């Protein structure tokens, strides 16, 4: 089994330092970046498949050279056998459609895997388009909002449990042929049914953590020429989306004002209790009803 996980770097909103150029495009090189949180569920789905069926897990991202760290994070926190970064200036400022064209070309170059996993949306754009659009370019069957899955290798079939229209109270089970594209929902829970599975999981994660410091040994970097795509169809030139405006993301305050009160100071503690009473009530009515003093 060969599984591929698509991941992306997103702005680290905890830092509050998100930089845009004058045209409203995110300047990723000037913005602190972390792995998209929803991609962790896709990584867990791929790891479950690796534990149960062997083979290898690849992780791919499209972005600037700094996205190497995103791929290292994917390896260190979950698991990966090999890493792919698709990167050059021709790909800059791509919308989801241009990104999908680029990723699908890279996937075809590497050889279409048995399963492609993607998170259901990113923390920056939140459109949920890139996974399905990449799948459309590859002409593969797709299953979205997946919360659980099994693979029948002999039959070449995927069986998946998915949410119905995002409703947590209703699920359905669907089947499709491999290769297939899977959009993993945040409700996904990996299942390791045997002691052998759990031991394999432990070994694989330890191996990944040991390899992560030398992740570049497992990294392949391709530019647009390597994957044979026309620059007119990728990056900003290939993006039909027009950004009309962006709103700045304020940085949360690093410090809050606080008044220090010594617990041994009766007057100080009384002032604290007086300030809290409007929020919690002083309990006098309850005390009177119960016959308290």
Q: With 70 as the cut, is the pLDDT of residue 261 above it? A: yes
Would you state the pLDDT for residue 273?
Answer: 80
Q: With 80 as the cut, is the pLDDT of residue 290 above it? A: no
Would you state the pLDDT for residue 262?
Answer: 84
As a whole number of angstroms, the distance between CA 288 and CA 255 comes to: 42
Using only C-alpha atoms, the chain has a radius of gyration, in whole angstroms, of 25
Would you state the pLDDT for residue 204?
Answer: 96
Would you state the pLDDT for residue 292?
Answer: 46
Would you state the pLDDT for residue 284?
Answer: 47
Across residues 66-80, what is the average pLDDT? 94
Task: Please enumerate in sequence order all residues whose Cβ is within 8 A of that of 194, keeping only pairs 6 or more positions apart, or say none.
Answer: none
Lowest mean pLDDT segment, chosen from 67-81, 136-150, 247-261: 247-261
The rounded mean pLDDT for the chain is 86
As a whole number of angstroms, the distance between CA 56 and CA 137 comes to: 23
Q: With 80 as the cut, is the pLDDT of residue 208 above it? A: yes
Q: With 60 as the cut, is the pLDDT of residue 212 above it? A: yes
Of 76, 184, 58, give the one whose Cα is nearest residue 113: 58
Would you state the pLDDT for residue 32?
Answer: 74
As a whole number of angstroms, the distance between CA 39 and CA 5 comes to: 8
Across residues 103-132, what is the average pLDDT? 91
Condensed to tens digits (0 to 9), the pLDDT of residues 93-107 reads 888 999 999 999 999
As a whole number of angstroms, the distance between CA 282 and CA 280 comes to: 7
User: Predicted confidence band at 126 (pLDDT cuts at 50, 70, 90)?
Assistant: confident
Structure tokens at 158: 């995927």
Would you state the pLDDT for residue 13?
Answer: 64
Would you state the pLDDT for residue 26?
Answer: 59
Condensed to tens digits (0 to 9), the pLDDT of residues 27-64 reads 655 667 889 999 999 999 999 999 999 999 999 999 99
Would you state the pLDDT for residue 286?
Answer: 46
- Phi-psi bin for 145: left (phi > 0), alpha (psi -120 to 50), beta? left
Would you state the pLDDT for residue 188?
Answer: 95
Alpha-carbon distances, residue 182 vs 64, 115, 168, 254, 261 (angstroms): 25, 7, 18, 39, 55
Q: With 80 as the cut, is the pLDDT of residue 243 above it? A: no
Of 55, 26, 61, 28, give the one whose Cα is nearest residue 42: 61
DSSP 26: B
Condensed to tens digits (0 to 9), the pLDDT of residues 152-196 reads 999 999 999 999 976 678 999 999 999 999 999 999 999 998 999
Query: Which helix (H) or strand (E) is 99 found in, with range?
Result: helix 96-110
pTM: 0.79
Partners of 220 in the β-ladder: 84
Across residues 195-212, what is the average pLDDT? 96
Q: With 80 as the cut, is the pLDDT of residue 265 above it? A: yes
Residue 61, burial from CB neighbour count under 10 angstroms (0-12, 13-18, 19+): buried
């Amino acid at each position: 089994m060969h599984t591929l996980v698509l991941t992306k770097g997103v702005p680290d909103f905890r830092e509050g330092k998100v930089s845009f150029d004058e045209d409203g495009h995110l300047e990723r090189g000037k913005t602190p970046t972390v792995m998209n949180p929803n991609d962790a569920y896709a990584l867990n789905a791929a790891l479950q498949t690796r534990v149960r069926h062997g083979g290898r897990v690849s992780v791919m991202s499209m972005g600037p050279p700094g996205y190497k760290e995103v791929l290292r994070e994917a390896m260190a926190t979950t698991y990966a056998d090999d890493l792919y970064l698709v990167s050059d200036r021709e790909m800059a400022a791509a919308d989801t459609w241009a990104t999908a064209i680029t990723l699908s070309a890279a996937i075809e170059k590497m050889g279409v895997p048995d399963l492609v996993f993607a998170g259901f949306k990113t923390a920056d754009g939140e459109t949920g388009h890139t996974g399905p659009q990449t799948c459309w370019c590859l002409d593969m069957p797709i299953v979205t909002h997946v919360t659980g899955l099994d693979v029948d290798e002999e039959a070449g079939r995927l069986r998946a449990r998915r949410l119905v229209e995002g409703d947590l109270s209703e699920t359905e089970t669907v089947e499709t042929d491999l290769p297939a594209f899977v959009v993993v929902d945040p409700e996904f829970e990996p299942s390791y049914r045997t002691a052998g599975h759990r031991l394999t999981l432990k070994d694989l994660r330890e191996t990944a953590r040991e390899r992560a410091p030398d992740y570049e040994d497992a990294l392949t970097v391709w530019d647009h020429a390597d994957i044979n795509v026309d620059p007119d169809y990728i990056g900003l030139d290939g993006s039909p989306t027009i950004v009309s405006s962006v709103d700045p993301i304020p940085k949360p305050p690093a410090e809050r004002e606080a008044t220090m009160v010594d617990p041994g100071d009766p007057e100080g503690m009384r002032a604290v209790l007086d300030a809290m009473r409007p929020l919690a009530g002083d309990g006098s009515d309850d005390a009177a009803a119960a016959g308290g003093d």
